[in-house]
Amino acid sequence: MAEAPGQEALQDTLSNVKHIIAVASGKGGVGKSTASVNLALALAQQGAKVGIVDADIYGPSLPMMLGVAEGTRPEIVDQKYFIPVEAQGIKSMSMGYLATEQTPMVWRGPMASGALLQILTQTLWGELDYLVVDMPPGTGDIQLTLAQKAQLSGAVIVTTPQDIALLDARKAIEMFYKVNIPVLGIVENMAVHSCSQCGHQEHIFGEGGGQKVAKEYDTEVLGSLPLSLDIREQMDSGKPSVVSEPEGQVAKAYAKIAGKVIALLADKASPGGPEIVIE
């Protein structure tokens, strides 16, 4: 990819996007992408115009999760701009549309950051109420670049109740606080497992961890999701829980999470977006 575009180009293509929401985690394997996709779909089901960006340049999974056919490529306008791929009623953009599954992105951090900025600035998003950014795990170049270049309205932190995951979730929260981006709340994945045979519930990864971290940082747990085989199978088949079982418990949980996010953003909205302060 060419050199990353500047702030002016970023503001131009995102000028009609009301809110940009980063969905982040301190570590991989906590279900962040699953949460990102279901949150975006739940926002759309509440009547919002929604887009989603797969910011995981190295391991894009969005096309598969949205059920987009393999080999789908975005249309190109004026040999410069991408038309986002529409799937399940939302607009989407991912490095997965630009590379094959057999082509790993062997890039250093600045190159990956530049690729993300190009995806954001060269996609014609049009009018959106919410643009959900599925962040890669960690607190490195890509996360900091997005925080500096895009006017994020807020961040949602995804974790499991496991102590090691909570430790990394704290790091993610600290990162957003240091760049003065509000943390809207925490989504706790794999909170409880229900036996499919007898219905017995067990907190495999611990209990109450999300609430503890939320209290530490004066935020809230937006919702808790179970450890469920159905959720995994639905995502792998490109039929996320929110659309495959709209009346199911998981879909209802995401509907509540989406409602809280909408209310929090309405409450925190201020002209010009957050001020970036790097310490």
**Beta-carbon neighbour count of residue 107 at 10 Å?**
14
Phi-psi region at 83: left, alpha or beta (left = phi > 0; alpha = psi -120 to 50): beta
Average the pLDDT over 139-168 and give the result: 81
- In this prediction, residue 151 carries a pLDDT of 84
- In this prediction, residue 98 carries a pLDDT of 80
More confident residue, 129 or 193: 129
- In this prediction, residue 35 carries a pLDDT of 94
CATH of domain 7-268: 3.40.50.300
CB within 8 Å of 142: residues ≥ 6 apart: 55, 57, 109, 112, 113, 116, 135, 136
Q: Indicate the pLDDT class of residue 93, thresholds 50, 70 and 90.
A: very high
More confident residue, 1 or 180: 180
More confident residue, 104 or 146: 146
- Asked whether the whole model's pTM tops 0.95, one would answer no
- In this prediction, residue 182 carries a pLDDT of 93
User: Would the pLDDT of 127 be above 90?
Assistant: yes
DSSP letter (8 states) at residue 207:
S
